[in-house]
Amino acid sequence: MEKKQSELCLEILRRFNNAGVLDDLILIGSWCVYFYVDYFSDVPYTARQTIKTRDLDFLIDNPGRMRHEVNIPELLEDLGFIIIYKGAKGYIKLEHPDLLLEFLVPERGKGIDKPVALPKLGLNAVALRFLSFLSADTITVKVEGFHIRMPHPANFALHKLIISPRRLKQDKAQKDRDTALIILRALIGKGEARKIRQAFESVPKKWRDKILGVLNESEDADIIAVLA
């Protein structure tokens, strides 16, 4: 990962923390792999070396409960971020040559096919399936003088396995699978096989079947044995 990119990510997190909104956000997506390094400091962990992405994604589990208000496009404007609109329905992203910032919310019930307004942040969010699993169990990691909330690595890795078959691009699907397997092996090495099992059993059978389908293709006997 280029130093310039990681420094920009940290500056965004600093600003969110200073504005008081970081506590309302859950960092998801591939940048979690970068910040999991301290969690796995006592076992071999190579996933961080595979991170090459512009996408910086934040999950807001319950937008109605946000406690602070800040116009994020204005907050990041001097860093070079500009608003872009994705699709005909006006989904907002913040684009920079090094990072692409997006906010997501869990899709619940029958779903929604339009942006979810985030008036306290001055933008909107995309509603997606399966995201509630990421917020169901979280950890906090200290970075500099503040804390970042992220999905527990077990939930993060299993989520990767759930969504990988839905990827349109095969290379991204393979990257999801590889990242998930590295994290699951690290959790087993850390003595958290039971945590993997608990996370697996917490999801609907259809989700469990998706996970097992991908794992059977990988033929990773140690991980399959944890879920058997």
pLDDT digits (tens, 9 = 90+) for 195-207: 999 999 999 999 9
- The mean pLDDT of 157-174, rounded to a whole number, is 86
Tens digit of pLDDT for each residue in 134-158? Answer: 999 999 999 988 999 999 999 999 9
Same domain, 144 and 197: no
Q: In total, how many domains does the chain have?
A: 2
Q: Can you give the residue range of the structural domain that contains 207?
A: 153-228
Whether 75 has a pLDDT exceeding 80, the answer reads: yes
Final residue of a domain: which of 151, 178, 209?
151
- Reported confidence tier of residue 49, pLDDT bands at 50, 70, 90: low
Same domain, 130 and 52: yes
Note the maximum CA span of the chain: 52
Same domain, 158 and 89: no
**What DSSP state is assigned to residue 80?**
T
Tens digit of pLDDT for each residue in 95-140? Answer: 999 999 999 999 877 667 789 999 999 999 999 888 999 999 999 9
Same domain, 75 and 176: no
User: Which of 81, 75, 114, 218 minimizes the C-alpha distance to 157?
Assistant: 218
Same domain, 137 and 27: yes
Identify the helix (H) or strand (E) that includes residue 83: strand 82-86
Same domain, 39 and 93: yes
Same domain, 47 and 15: yes
User: Which of 139, 140, 158 minimizes the C-alpha distance to 200?
Assistant: 158
Is 48 within 8 Å of 179 (Cβ atoms)? no
Structure tokens at 73: 């496009």
Question: Lowest mean pLDDT: which of 7-16, 88-97, 160-169, 200-209?
Answer: 160-169
| Residue 187: per-residue pLDDT | 97
- The mean pLDDT of 30-44, rounded to a whole number, is 91
